Structure 1
Amino acid sequence: MILRAVALLTLLALAKPAVAQEQTVLILNGRVMDGSGNPWVRADVLIQGDKIIEIGDLSDVSADDMVDATGLYVTPGFIDTHSHSGPGLATVGLSHAEPLLAMGLTTIFANPDGGGPIDLSAQRIALERDGLGVNVAQLIGHGSARSQVIGQQNRVATPAELDRMRAIVREAMDEGAWGLSSGTFYVPGNYAPPEEIEELAKVVAPYQGSYTSHHRDESTYSIGLIAAIDEVINVGRVAGIPAILTQ
């Protein structure tokens, strides 16, 4: 029952204005958390179409749908910064993302671990063809860019090859990417020295993008966990962008 209510509310909140502009939903008696870090407050939330229009004591207000949230938390939608949902969301019949909505997720970042397509415009078309139930922020994968230029070869890129990778990242950012992802734990990402990733991260900086990584080592397989974490942090420092450790 709770999952059904969460999914219903999220779907209504994300519905296109043309469909739900007149629809109103009133969530009553919830423990409202606004995402600012402040403690929760008991309040009611009124939604019209795709907008929250009032928060407070709305016990005397009526709406098309009334939901009793007594004992439950009412929060902004959760953001999944490391999601492998991209291929599924690009599949007709799955793009409405009801399982994600039932968990309270309203935004996901696609193409993690340095993977995903390099043609983000084509991916966006596939994502949107049957209607998206969640917001999707696309990343451009370092491993995908590297594979496009030098395949799976275990070697350092030449200056000309690095320029081609820069061009791929720049085009993806122009197409709306939110940042660069890498998977230096995997082939071909683990063939790249940190300097290669730093150069591509610099391309992201003017777009105010970010860098996310499945870092190079999780234990003592290669350079060690601490060194792998330091590498990710240093990429962000050198490029002047946020660095996010996703695994």
Structure 2
Amino acid sequence: MKILLTGALAYDGLGSEPVRQDVLIDGERIVAVGQNLPKDGAKVWDVSGLSLSPGFIDAHSHNDWCAVSDDPIPGFEPFIQQGITSFVTGNCGASAAGFEKDSPYLSEVGGGTFSLDDAFKPYGSVEQFFERTHKKTPCNLGLLIGHNTARASVAGSANRPLTEDEMQRMMGLLEDGLKQGACGISLGLMYSPGLYAPPGGAESCRRALPQVRPPAYRASKGGIQGVHGL
């Protein structure tokens, strides 16, 4: 289905002055922007007097937990109504993917703030997260893989350093998540179980992100590291 929006004051998102022009949408894609575009069989919506811009990006979101629910639409609707169409999710160390699916600690993944529904528990990997959410989520998602999620799945909320085996398993989850499409790693050092990571624990996670440098959320060759700490 084609829709032609006419008469809007359009902002390009690059800082330029807005220009009154038309926008042609074909299915899920914007295919043309300009003045006096031909109808070309499109349904015309006159939006004169309104402003039009690219969708906004929410760079600190937990909507990955909405995305894995049976019906994610209600969780996204309030954001869409505010013009937000893209999300960086998995923040504060708590992602809805990147855990051992057979872990005995699944009830502790999410740190008590978020929880996995029964339909999601057979999954666990970032790859499976995107497979599950791609078609039913109405917005664009980028996922940070949560240190707390990975740690909780190998050792629960234990207030102690990880054993060598647990550390290797946790690092394996983080590295696999990056290979499978996560855009970075998030740390929540004020939340359980990230709170119990010893000094240097954050540095261990950074080894999975070559060339990442502070401050938090700086994009680099290796990905993004988001830190929510004390």
Q: TM-score, normalised by structure 1?
A: 0.68
Asked if the contact 1:25–1:48 (Cα under 8 Å) also holds between the matched residues in 2, the reply is yes
Asked if the contact 2:72–2:136 (Cα under 8 Å) also holds between the matched residues in 1, the reply is no
Matches for 1:13-52 after TM superposition, within 5 Å? 23-52=1-30
Greater RCO (CA < 8 Å, at least 6 residues apart)? 2
Alignment partner, residue 242 of structure 1: none
Alignment partner, residue 130 of structure 2: 124
In the alignment, which of 154, 167, 170 is matched to residue 162 of structure 1? 167
Matches for 1:1-247 after TM superposition, within 5 Å? 23-58=1-36, 61=39, 63-95=41-73, 97-116=76-95, 117-118=97-98, 119=124, 120-128=126-134, 131-158=136-163, 160-193=165-198, 195-205=200-210, 208-216=222-230
Aligned partner of 1:52: which letter? Answer: I
What are the ranges of 5 or more consecutive residues in structure 2 without an aligned counterpart?
Answer: 99-123, 212-220
CA-CA distance at 1:49 after TM superposition: 2.7
Asked if the contact 1:113–1:183 (Cα under 8 Å) also holds between the matched residues in 2, the reply is yes
CA-CA distance at 1:178 after TM superposition: 1.0
User: What's the Cα RMSD here?
Assistant: 2.5
* Cα separation, partners in 2 of 1:166 and 1:94, compared to 1, 3 Å: closer
**Which deviations, in whole Å up to 9, do the C-alpha atoms of 1:37-59 show, x marking residues without a partner?**
22222222122233323222116
Task: Tell me the SS of whatever aligns to 1:205.
Answer: coil
Among all aligned residue pairs of Structure 1 and Structure 2, give the percentage whose two residues are the same amino acid: 31
Q: TM-score, normalised by structure 2?
A: 0.72
CA-CA distance at 1:87 after TM superposition: 2.5
- How many residues align? The count is 193
**Which deviations, in whole Å up to 9, do the C-alpha atoms of 1:4-27 show, x marking residues without a partner?**
xxxxxxxxxxxxxxxxxxx22111
CA-CA distance at 1:65 after TM superposition: 2.3
Q: Matches of 1:58 and 1:50 in 2, distance apart?
A: 21
Q: Which moved more, 1:31-40 or 1:169-178?
A: 31-40
**Which deviations, in whole Å up to 9, do the C-alpha atoms of 1:186-230 show, x marking residues without a partner?**
1111222452212212313376310112232xxxxxxxxxxxxxx
Task: Tell me the SS of whatever aligns to 1:203.
Answer: coil
CA-CA distance at 1:160 after TM superposition: 4.8
The structure where helix makes up a greater share of residues is: 1
CA-CA distance at 1:72 after TM superposition: 2.1
Q: Matches of 2:67 and 2:166 in 1, distance apart?
A: 32
CA-CA distance at 1:177 after TM superposition: 0.7
What are the ranges of 5 or more consecutive residues in structure 1 without an aligned counterpart?
Answer: 1-22, 217-247
Q: Matches of 1:115 and 1:64 in 2, distance apart?
A: 43
Asked if the contact 1:95–1:127 (Cα under 8 Å) also holds between the matched residues in 2, the reply is no
